[in-house]
Amino acid sequence: MPVQLHTHDTSGVAAATLLAAVDAGVDAVDVAMDAMSGTTSQPCFGSIVEAVRNTERDTGLDPKAIRAISSYWDRVRGQYAAFESDLRGGASEVYLHEMPGGQFTNLREQARSMGLEDRWDEVARAYRDANDLLGDIVKVTPSSKVVGDLALMMVAQNLAAADVVDPDIDIAFPASVVEMLRGDLGNPPGGWPGGIQTKVLQDQPATTVRPGSLIDAADLDKERATAERLCDRAVDDRELASYLMYPRIYAEYCSAERKYGPVSALPTNVFFYGMKPGDEVSIQIELGKILLVRFQALTATDEDGEVKVFFELNGQPRTIKVPDRTFVGERTSRRKADEDNEGHVAAPMRGTISSMQVRSGDRVKAGDTLLTLEAMKMETALRAPRDGTVAEVLVKIADTVAAHDLVVVLDR
């Protein structure tokens, strides 16, 4: 059976690992184009090729061609500079937390969005603890994200590993952790560690069969019709697949497309960084149809965080209001939950309210979902700590909350 080795260069020594594997007879190794290599990506393609030149494992690849292709990707990479990771060198901490390269950068962004950037050392240690709590699982997408979600929860709520499995400490676990321990992603050999699975699932049943076997067959014609209603146009097979995998995200995409049009036709730098007054750009929206857009001016940001943009489209004046993504409005001052009041339900971390399941006056039972909090791809369901009646709901969908903010009050 052929053996292929895949590794990221987060530690800075992955190239040595690949060369050792080559000497040991590995059949294939994964590398990254020179301009895209290093840190959380794979080792440098051109360098590996040169290192094995004139040996029995010489690849025979043309180094000039490799450099020519790398030069192209170097220019492409420059257009995405604003989204680059801030990791500028090797990180030996990978030997502590064992995060996959892609997870490393994603988790840092999640931590930043949750106000935990200054506590990154704690996040790294918590990732190690979370991984051990889950049985030292194989960490690939999406399992690596689940470990990261659990680690962020632990740091945000100041929980040690022992606290996570303590049956006397009530914890709002991220939805991804619940789903994985329920068996939605499959089960590892020997199953999940009993202590954390029992704590997370509580009364929920776990599945032990292949998750895909439990999914009902999809009526593709019906699903396509739903997707087309969302987009108000016909969708092709690729778009249908996107809808089936990510229905909520696809619905948001359709909403943005209806409002702003086919933004995928914009040049990359215009899409990411916008235009300045006086700039002009031509956009081909379909074969033979080109739009000439000239940006004229914009107003100051209003109280809703929007600006009015004035531009010309093929010489005709147009105006549109768009959100100013740099705008930071006044944050609502919220009541904090009283830790001694068992009827107070608090936000466990900073995030945005993504869904509400209850209203004032609703009767709930212990464990019922009250609302869902989202923080940078991580969803957490807040559940009723006991039976009772919803006396107050202090938030609504899209509200931003901080850790310990009071969101729901329950009466007996």
Write down the domain spans for the chain.
4-83, 94-212, 220-260, 265-323, 344-411
Pick the CATH number of 220-260 from 3.20.20.70, 1.10.10.60, 1.20.1740.10, 3.40.1160.10: 1.10.10.60
Q: Which residues of 321-355 are buried (b: 16+ CB within 10 A; e: fewer)?
A: eeebeeeeeeeeebeebeeeeebbbbbbbbbbbee
DSSP string, 270-319: HHHH---TT-EEEEEEETTEEEEEEEEEE----TTSEEEEEEEETTEEEE
Per the CB < 8 A criterion, the answer to whether 345 and 388 are in contact is no
Per the CB < 8 A criterion, the answer to whether 324 and 309 are in contact is no
* Per-residue DSSP letter, 34: G
Residue with tokens 């009526």: 219
81 Cβ neighbours under 8 A, 6+ residues apart: none
CA 228 to mean position of chain CA atoms:
26
Residue 282, number of CB atoms within 10 A of its CB: 9
Taking the C-alpha atoms of residue 28 and residue 30, their distance in angstroms, rounded to an integer, is: 7
Per the CB < 8 A criterion, the answer to whether 80 and 57 are in contact is no
- Nearest alpha-carbon partner for 341 in 247, 266, 408, 255: 408
pLDDT of residue 330: 58
Q: What does the angle CA 286 – CA 291 – CA 297 come to, to the nearest 5 degrees?
A: 145
CATH hierarchy code of domain 94-212: 1.10.472.90
pLDDT of residue 87: 81
What length does the chain have? Answer: 412
CATH classification of 344-411 is 3.40.309.10, yes or no? no
Taking the C-alpha atoms of residue 246 and residue 236, their distance in angstroms, rounded to an integer, is: 15
- Nearest alpha-carbon partner for 155 in 112, 122, 178, 132: 122
The per-residue pLDDT string of the chain (412 residues; one tens digit each, 9 = 90 and over) reads: 999 999 999 999 999 999 999 999 999 999 999 999 998 999 999 999 999 999 999 999 999 999 999 999 999 999 998 888 878 888 899 999 999 888 888 898 889 888 888 999 999 999 999 999 999 999 888 899 999 999 999 999 999 999 999 999 989 899 999 999 999 999 999 999 989 999 999 888 999 999 989 888 989 999 999 999 988 889 999 999 999 999 989 998 999 888 888 888 999 999 999 899 999 999 998 888 999 999 999 999 988 889 999 999 999 999 999 888 777 655 567 899 998 898 999 998 888 999 999 999 999 998 899 999 998 778 899 999 999 999 999 999 989 898 889 999 999 7
CATH hierarchy code of domain 265-323: 3.10.600.10
Tokens (6 digits) for 16? 């040595």
Q: How far is CA 166 from CA 131, 183, 198, in A?
A: 17, 22, 10
pLDDT of residue 331: 57
Mapping DSSP to helix (H, G, I), strand (E, B) and coil, where does residue 108 land? helix
pLDDT of residue 328: 62
What pairing do the DSSP bridges indicate for beta strands 351-356 and 400-401? antiparallel
